[in-house]
Structure 1
Amino acid sequence: MRARYRLPADHRLILAVGGVERRKNTLHVLDVFLALRREQPDVHLVVVGGASLLDHTAYRTQFETRLRDSGKAEHVTITGPVSDDDMPAFYRQAAVLAYPSATEGFGLCPLEALSCGTPAIVPEIAPFTEHFSEVDTLWCHPDSPHTLLSALRDALSPRNLARFRVSGPTTARRFDWCQVAERHMPAYRRLAALSQAETPFSGALSPCLR
């Protein structure tokens, strides 16, 4: 995978997923990466993805200008959209997922990273605070780049890298399809009961509602 995407073999990868978008806070990620690289020169930023129906041209222009002016363009890779089959390799090769997204519906990428044993940094806002605990991930604030820098330092420490190799997959297993379906069953039963109470109902319930 590194050879295919021309990623340096001897650098630790800081992974950002979702392309260059304002809601993904990609400019913050770039600024923080440049600050981190002054301390730890063996890191390389990889921004994966970016397929969108929306026009992000203005924001991407800001990103490209910032990157060009930094003189560090060779230390940043923008892949564009990639195959789903390649994503597990990106997560496993990454030292950390930097995901300071300003808005998300749920946020699958951190779970994908954790399932591969990779530390994930997420913003301390909903929806992440609704399904992650303080020990599941590392936290930042989407409006405070210095909190992302601090979290990246923590994530790259040998202690946390070793911890997430064990705890990450365990956290992700809480969200496998069987457990998610099981947690939905009480809601489905309540809705089925309400439906029967409000309207005439004939026939047996579907097995998934029993």
Structure 2
Amino acid sequence: MVAESHNAPRAQLQLGAQEAGKKRPRRTFTMRIAIDALGISRPGGGRSATLNLLEPLLELDQLNEYIIFLDQHEPWLDIYKGRVRQIIAPVKQRFLVRIWAQAAWPGFLRAERVNLIHHTKNLATLFNPCPSVVTVHDVMMLLHPEVFHPLDVLYYRTIEPICLRNADRIIAVSQTTAEDLKTYYGLSPSRIEVIHEGIDKIFKPASEQEIMRVRTKYRLPRAYLLHVGCIWPKKNLLTLARAYHRLIQQGAFNGDLVLVGRPYRSKGDPELDRYLAMKAETGRVVRTGAVPQEDLPGLYSGAACVVFPTLHEGFGLVPLEAMACGAPVIASHVGAIEEVLGDAAVLLEDPRDEVALAGLISELVNDPAAQQERRARGLARAARFSRQEAARRTLALYESLV
């Protein structure tokens, strides 16, 4: 518990009997918790994972107050005004934002008498004057450095291990990520807490009317393959595009390939762009860009299957969301995919094998019984992952450190 001296105005006094011989009143104190949520303004997995923690956490925790560091104002947080403060970064370029955080936060946390800081997206600051928690989603930059900016790789090889060693506790979003932290950073298992991510309640099977609405909005046919996620080499979309065109040429599938998501940063996936330009007359690849979250359940539910041929995932939120919406899923057998999806997904052993991927897609989309079985398994699997349980365990971790 925190000292009463600086939190007395917010302290809650549980009144008890004052008479002699009875217990003295027990004081409970409000913690002041800082949340590092920098970078969630951009649509993508980082934003989804952070909101999947923050929304249920703020609903669950009515006692403590929060300071949330952001790169832009989040209007949905305004309903918590009075116990949630938003601190907006004064700079926008991501490297400058991290320099600002390292320069300004230690003094700010000390002046505000913050009791704990939680860094929610891998990165952290040094010299925090309070206990710190870091959530690590994956160590992809060490496993596949070729798809990242050299400065990012350098950071993860030099600064990140120092930050993790200085953290009081690390949350790994999967057992796979926990093992990677032990292997690549030499962290003690006693300092790592595995807390699986949960799914937003919006992800559930959509009605026929909703499926038709999004199909009309994005001009999609009745049959389409779907990928959701940022467009960049990590997602291995070139293999998916080649597998799709193989199916079209073989007559094994007569529908569109739909890619939902923004280009990652400004680079995107140039090799994919060149390939799709070359194959513009074969099949139809629809690139929607980022879409509103409320459109995703209809897109997932209407897909012949959701294909996720990623090179690595520390969790695998997108295929889990798809399963929650009743979509059959094919995913790479890499990282934490099997840990999270279990036997509900069809697993691709080699994510770069376009021939094998085309074969799995053909078998699934042309077998209604197999599709129905995967839908049922997926719904049951997704139901195991609760945002509320993840928030409850995270709050318990905060309380154990203060």
What TM-score, normalized by structure 2, do the two folds share? 0.42
Match of 2:309 in 1: 100
Q: Which residue identity does 2:344 align to in structure 1?
A: D
Residue number in structure 2 paired with 1:76: 285
1:136 aligns with 2:335: no
Which residue does the alignment assign to 1:204?
none
1:23 aligned counterpart, secondary structure: helix
From 379, 383, 387, give the equivalent of 1:173.
383
* Aligned residue runs from structure 1 range 1-210, under 5 A: 1-8=214-221, 10=222, 12-38=223-249, 39-50=251-262, 52-53=264-265, 55-56=267-268, 59-60=269-270, 62-72=271-281, 75-133=284-342, 135-140=343-348, 141-156=350-365, 157-180=367-390, 184=393, 188=397, 192=400
| Aligned-partner Cα distance in 1 for 2:326–2:260 | 18
Indicate conservation of the 8 Å contact 1:67/1:73, yes or no: no
Gaps of 5+ in 2: 1-213
Measure the CA separation in 2 of the matches of 1:41 and 1:148: 13
Residue in structure 2 matched with residue 198 of structure 1 by the alignment: none
Aligned residue for 1:3, secondary structure, equals: helix
Matches of 2:220 and 2:281, distance apart in 1: 14
User: Displacement, 1:52?
Assistant: 3.2
**Structure 1 residue aligned with 2:168:** none
RMSD: 2.4
Higher relative contact order (CA 8 A, sep 6+): 1
For 2:255 and 2:230, locate their aligned partners in 1 and report how far apart those are by CA, in whole Å: 19
Instruction: Give per-residue Cα distances to partners, 1:26-63, cap 9 Å, x unaligned.
Output: 1111000001122224221000012533522xx33x22
- Please report how far the alpha carbon of residue 112 of structure 1 lies from its aligned counterpart in structure 2 after TM superposition: 0.7
Alpha-carbon shift at residue 23 of structure 1 (Å):
0.4
- Pairs aligned (count): 185
Q: Secondary structure at the match of 1:143?
A: coil
Name the amino acid aligned to 2:291.
V
- Please, what TM-score do these two structures have when normalized by structure 1? 0.78
**How many angstroms apart in 2 are the aligned matches of 1:170 and 1:96?**
17
Decide whether the 8 Å contact of 2:232 with 2:264 is kept in 1. Answer: no
Aligned to 1:208: none
| Deviation for aligned residue 1:73 | 5.7
Report the residue type matching 1:6 in the other structure.
Answer: R
The CA distance in 2 between the partners of 1:32 and 1:74, in whole Å, is 12
**Structure 1, residues 89-122: CA drift from partner, whole Å, max 9, x if none?**
1101111111011122311110111011111111
Alpha-carbon contact 2:245-2:282 (below 8 Å) kept: no
Distance of 1:74 and 1:43 partners within structure 2? 8
Shift of 1:7: 1.5
Once the two structures are TM-superposed, the CA of residue 150 in structure 1 deviates from its matched residue by 2.2
Provide the rounded CA distance (Å) in 2 between the counterparts of 1:117 and 1:74: 26
AA matched with 1:144: D
Instruction: Determine which structure has more spread, i.e. the larger CA radius of gyration.
Output: 2
* Superposition deviation, residue 3 in structure 1: 1.6
Q: Give the deviation of 1:82 after TM superposition.
A: 0.6
Q: Report the alpha carbon displacement of residue 159 of structure 1 after superposing the two structures with TM.
A: 1.7
CA contact (8 A) 2:231 2:237 kept: yes
Q: 2-side partners of 1:175 and 1:68: how far apart? A: 39
Cα pair distance change 1:43/1:137, threshold 3 Å = same
Query: Unaligned regions of 5+ residues in structure 1, if any?
Result: 196-200, 202-210
In the other structure, the counterpart of 2:83 is none
